[in-house]
Amino acid sequence: MDEIRIYGFDGTGGVQRLAPEQKTVRDPVPPGGGFVWAHVDGASEAGRTWLEAAGLDRHEIEALLAEETRPRCTLHEDIALMNLRGVNLNPGAEPEDMISVRLFVSAGMMISVQMRTLQALVDLMTALDRGQGSTTPGDLIARLALRLADRAEPVVAALNERADRLEDAMEEEGRGDSAMRADLADIRRTSIVMRRYMFPQRDALSTLEIEDLDWLTQRDRSRLREATERVTRLAEELDALRDRAQVVHDQILDIRAEAMNRQMLVLSVVAAVFLPMGLVTGLLGINVGGIPGAAWPGAFWAVCALLLAIGAGQIWLFRRMGLFPR
């Protein structure tokens, strides 16, 4: 994507791409209610230089170039500073490593800044290049928010499908192997990270929608409300995913605990079988006088028969108690 890309809107839905020349927030509003959108690559030197010369306040520049951001909406008179997040669909990236887009919005100009390529912005610019313009800055923000939701929905749907497969596997196999536990941990981590940004994004869009700004029309507010509802639904689905993953995790823990209990039961039964035998052989093996059968040649076989009888009696007793498999 270009380091600086500028679009001019005529206020009636027309749009044209402008030369990447310097613009300032103090430039007069285009006639007929139009506005300008400047998209800047904040990671490039040319982009930072453009922002420094755009007539922004120091705190506005710092907000647009901040390294770590969370979705929010801050208003100052008729200016809105917003941060939004979109899923990372770049090759080799994790979708939950969400990319931030920073916005400066006024009646005559909108400035957006990104540090990494955001596919939702690419989609929006592709539509603008085809002549599908916006009428107001509020309409452009709503379109961007909807595109962010559009790109996030397949990611959330894929997480739901993975959770469905895990639940089906738990019902069919009744066990949780290492691959299943790793997949479950990845689902939980992804849903938690995405949820951390979805709810603040909902609040940011809702804040902008209810504010009394001259450049926000009723249609803009309706579209922002629609975007807010879609983000809310995504956040709720991520909440449900986290809960479903926790349920499957608890089932795996229960299965592992039950298997361990069965193993401990077998070991306990085996120990209980040999404990009285060990007592008998220990008594007969002490080095004191008067050991019964010490002078009888058949005493060894008598002791063996006694131990077998004790073992058989214990097995019968444990079976009656349900502690020994039949």
Which structural domain range is residue 91 located in? 4-254
- Choosing from 221, 254, 287, the residue where a domain stops is 254
> Do the domain assignments include residue 292?
yes
Q: Which residues contact 190 (CB under 8 A, 6 or more apart)?
A: 94, 95, 96, 159
Strands 35-41 and 109-114: parallel
| 250 shares a domain with 271 | no
304 burial (CB, 10 Å; 0-12 / 13-18 / 19+) is exposed
Q: How confident is the model at residue 141 (pLDDT cuts 50, 70, 90)?
A: very high
| 246 shares a domain with 288 | no
* 298-313 pLDDT per residue, tens: 878 888 888 888 888 8
* 102-129 pLDDT per residue, tens: 999 998 899 999 999 999 999 999 999 9
| 176 shares a domain with 95 | yes
Q: How confident is the model at residue 13 (pLDDT cuts 50, 70, 90)?
A: confident
Q: What is the pLDDT of residue 1?
A: 63
Compute the distance between CA of residue 16 and CA of residue 4 in angstroms, rounded to an integer.
15
pLDDT above 80: residue 230: yes
| 295 shares a domain with 243 | no
Q: Are 74 and 103 in contact (CB under 8 A)?
A: no
Q: Which two tokens stand for residue 77?
A: 């008179």
Place of tokens 């452009």: 140
* 164-208 pLDDT per residue, tens: 888 888 777 766 677 788 888 888 889 999 999 999 999 999 999
Q: How confident is the model at residue 31 (pLDDT cuts 50, 70, 90)?
A: low
Least confident piece of the model among 36-50, 163-177, 193-207, 217-231: 163-177
- Choosing from 223, 254, 285, the residue where a domain stops is 254
Q: What is the pLDDT of residue 201?
A: 95
Q: Are 86 and 119 in contact (CB under 8 A)?
A: yes
Could you give phi then psi for residue 40, rounded to 5 degrees? -125, 135
Q: How confident is the model at residue 137 (pLDDT cuts 50, 70, 90)?
A: very high
Beta-strand (E) ranges in the chain? 4-9, 15-18, 35-41, 72-76, 79-86, 99-105, 109-114
* 62-91 pLDDT per residue, tens: 999 988 889 999 998 889 999 999 999 998
Compute the distance between CA of residue 201 and CA of residue 72 in angstroms, rounded to an integer.
7
Q: What is the pLDDT of residue 199?
A: 93
| 211 shares a domain with 296 | no
- Choosing from 254, 281, 300, the residue where a domain stops is 254
Q: How confident is the model at residue 324 (pLDDT cuts 50, 70, 90)?
A: low
76 burial (CB, 10 Å; 0-12 / 13-18 / 19+) is exposed
Compute the distance between CA of residue 326 and CA of residue 324 in angstroms, rounded to an integer.
6
Q: What is the pLDDT of residue 276?
A: 82
> Do the domain assignments include residue 199?
yes
> Do the domain assignments include residue 260?
no
> Do the domain assignments include residue 261?
no
Q: What is the pLDDT of residue 147?
A: 96
**Average pLDDT of span 269-295:** 77
